[in-house]
């Protein structure tokens, strides 16, 4: 349960950034356009995080080596992970499927989604969400550099308002956040450029039990899905219900669509009817 809460916080962190950007944009009246500050693809290897069950937050040198195998930066599952009882796809209806078994441990350079959001009491908005990840050296340690760039357009009477938020986050190889830096650009002006303390969350540190924490989705069926990245006639539809996250009501649901050969969801939708939230992400591309 504790790891599930951390996983929910990861989603909440992404959505909170977008909501903050919307609030900033909605409070401005100047409608000049600005660049989104996107990045070029980088190497080597989001989507959503996975990890093994544990309460350990930071590595302890005296713990056996099996406690800390290398984690895949995109899934936070050990690179060596393999399942002997992998569920056949598509599974039977109502089957719970682990994300680790569904996607494995893909190695990517970047992923990009077109998104739209509806928040009760605020103008509708849309934009582009891009994530890149690299493995780098920082202060003599190997770290995972995760960059999120959100280009946001808030609807207005004329051209609307554009802004961009760029977050650089650094994790150790066990998934613990080390530092974070944020830049916010609005109408060509740099509104924010500062460090933040590491968030009180991690992607989960493996233990020696061999048990993997990986979000489990309930299979519903197949849909034909068309997104900017293409058309997927037999996309597998999965469902999750949030019941233990204080940031959302207990009626919040997330629906995902996965396609064979695609290492990330081709589409996902979060709905919270009680709080008036609707977020839709459609795959634009990946590599």
pLDDT number for residue 19? 45
CB 252 within 8 A of CB 270: yes
> Whole-model pTM above 0.75?
no
What is the model's pLDDT at position 183?
96
pLDDT by residue, tens only, the chain of 287 residues: 434 444 444 444 445 444 444 444 444 433 333 333 333 333 333 333 333 333 333 443 344 455 566 778 887 777 777 765 667 788 889 988 887 788 878 889 999 999 999 999 988 889 999 999 999 987 788 899 999 999 988 876 555 567 899 999 998 877 788 899 999 998 788 999 999 998 766 665 555 555 666 778 899 999 999 999 999 999 999 998 876 677 778 788 999 999 988 999 999 999 998 889 999 999 999 99
CA 218, chain centre distance (Å): 19
User: In DSSP terms, which residues pair with 137 in a beta bridge?
Assistant: 142
What pLDDT is stored for residue 129 in this prediction? 96
> Are the beta carbons of 146 and 10 closer than 8 angstroms?
no
Following DSSP, what letter does each residue of 48-78 receive, concatenated?
A: S--EE-----S--TTS-GGG-PPBPTTT-SB
pLDDT score of 285: 97
Q: Which residue has the tokens 């051209």?
A: 159
Q: Which residue has the tokens 């899905």?
A: 225
Please answer whether residues 283 and 267 qualify as being in contact, where contact means their C-beta atoms are separated by less than 8 angstroms. Answer: yes
- Domain residue extents for the chain: 2-286
83 Cβ contact partners less than 8 Å away, ≥ 6 residues apart: 98, 100, 101
The pLDDT value given to residue 231: 98
């Amino acid at each position: 349960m504790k790891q599930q809460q951390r996983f929910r916080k990861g989603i909440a962190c992404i959505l909170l950034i977008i909501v903050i950007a919307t609030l900033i944009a909605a409070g401005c009246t100047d409608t000049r356009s600005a660049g989104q500050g996107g990045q070029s693809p980088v190497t080597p290897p989001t989507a959503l995080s996975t990890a093994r069950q544990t309460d350990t937050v930071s590595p302890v040198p005296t713990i056996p080596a099996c406690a800390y195998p290398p984690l895949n930066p995109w899934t936070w599952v050990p690179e060596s992970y393999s399942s002997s009882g992998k569920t056949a796809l598509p599974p039977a209806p109502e089957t719970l499927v682990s994300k680790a078994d569904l996607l494995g441990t893909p190695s990517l350079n970047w992923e990009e989604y077109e998104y739209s959001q509806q928040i009760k009491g605020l103008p509708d908005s849309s934009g582009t969400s891009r994530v890149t990840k690299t493995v780098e050296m920082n202060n003599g340690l190997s770290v995972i550099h995760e960059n999120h760039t959100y280009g946001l357009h808030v609807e207005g009477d004329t051209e609307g308002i554009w802004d961009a938020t760029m977050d650089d986050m650094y994790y150790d190889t066990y998934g613990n956040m080390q530092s974070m830096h944020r830049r916010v650009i609005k109408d060509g002006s740099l509104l924010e450029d500062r460090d933040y303390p590491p968030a009180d969350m991690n992607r989960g540190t493996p233990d020696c039990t061999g048990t993997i924490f990986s979000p489990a989705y309930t299979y519903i069926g197949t849909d034909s899905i068309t997104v900017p990245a293409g058309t997927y006639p037999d996309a597998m539809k999965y469902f999750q219900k949030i019941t233990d996250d204080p940031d959302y009501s207990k009626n919040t649901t997330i629906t995902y669509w996965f396609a064979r050969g695609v290492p990330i969801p081709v589409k996902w939708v979060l709905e919270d009817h009680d709080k008036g939230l609707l977020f839709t992400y459609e795959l634009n591309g990946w590599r």
